[in-house]
A = this chain, B = another copy of it.
């Protein structure tokens, strides 16, 4: 199928850019030194491509992602890098056809995991992200509680999310300082695993045994402003449905097709005016021209994760040819 025959709005994955990104990261972090984070793309089909690149373990943000990966036969070693208290969600993961490890950061999360069949945990440590994770000095106590409850403690995790967009000049020293907190906690906790990092720190974070990165596969314009060696592979494909002689055009996708927390998307070759629910209004770019009604435009999302979560599928394209479709099958809760 030609890409111009796709119904719009449609998410497109540039296969060449995707393959470049996968190969580049596999060279940086081969095999189980990378634990790809499925929250970025929520697709078992995409995850399966990553197993072909040698990464057999995955990281997830929701129990549904874990259960869906297991059901797709991708349950070799799954980490829920998040705290969960819901007994149903914990039992669903515990009884799935997968090796499942969950993050714990308190006595309450330890007790919930142990009571609902979870066997393995990582102690989640706060390394400055203002999110989940116990203070580094409490990690040993959480690990003791987990072992007392009969859980196997595989090690620690800590996400330096605050440093994903850190300027190059200071990134190295700040990642080192964050990981010093994690390693101090690891000394108290024990175990083989030190899990952390992300796309933004994939080169600087030399301390984790496994990197939790997902955005690198598809990329977005927020990461595009950095010096990372990955290419923008994801775009939103829209049809121009209205052109106004006042000097603007309107395409048929907007707030409900794009994560907006990092701001407006980029309309290639044009200037975004604003997005509304089902529209993106844009003005001429440097070339000074607008497309015609019926033309297609390519829009680059500012944040890939919440963009993908709005869509039912992604289409794989090479040039103008659609060569496949990946269901986004791990959405929702």
Residues of A within 8 A of B (CB): 7-10, 39, 61-62, 82-86, 88-89, 105-106, 108-109, 126, 130-135, 161, 239, 241-246, 248, 250, 252, 255-257, 259-261, 273-279, 281, 292-294, 303, 305-306, 309-312, 332-333
Dominant secondary structure at the A interface: loop
Whether B246 contacts A126 by the Cβ 8 Å rule is: yes
From A131, A279, A310, name the one whose CB has the most chain B CB atoms within 10 angstroms: A131
Report, nearest first, the 3 A-B pairs whose CB atoms are least far apart.
Answer: A83-B241, A260-B261, A132-B242
Whether A126 contacts B244 by the Cβ 8 Å rule is: yes
Residues of B within 8 A of A246 (CB): 126, 130, 135
Among the listed B7, B109, B275, B310, which residue makes an inter-chain contact with A309, where contact means beta carbons less than 8 Å apart?
A: B310
On whether A135 and B278 interact (CB within 8 A), knowing A7-B88, A306-B255, the answer reads no
Closest B-chain residue to A303, C-beta based?
A: B255
The complex places the Cα of A84 from the Cα of B130 at a distance, in Å, of: 44
Q: List 15 A-B contacts (CB under 8 A).
A: A9-B333, A62-B278, A85-B241, A85-B294, A105-B242, A109-B241, A126-B244, A130-B274, A131-B279, A132-B241, A132-B242, A134-B244, A135-B245, A135-B246, A277-B306
Residues of B within 8 A of A132 (CB): 241-242, 250, 279
State how many angstroms separate the Cβ of A305 from the closest Cβ of chain B: 5
The complex places the Cα of A275 from the Cα of B266 at a distance, in Å, of: 22
Residues of B within 8 A of A306 (CB): 255-256, 260, 277
The complex places the Cα of A126 from the Cα of B301 at a distance, in Å, of: 27
Closest B-chain residue to A112, C-beta based?
A: B294
Q: A7-B333, A260-B261 are in contact. List 15 more A-B contacts (CB 8 A).
A: A7-B88, A7-B89, A8-B333, A61-B277, A85-B293, A85-B294, A106-B293, A126-B244, A132-B241, A135-B246, A255-B259, A255-B303, A255-B305, A260-B306, A312-B332
Residues of B within 8 A of A243 (CB): 106
Among the listed B134, B239, B256, which residue makes an inter-chain contact with A86, where contact means beta carbons less than 8 Å apart?
A: B239
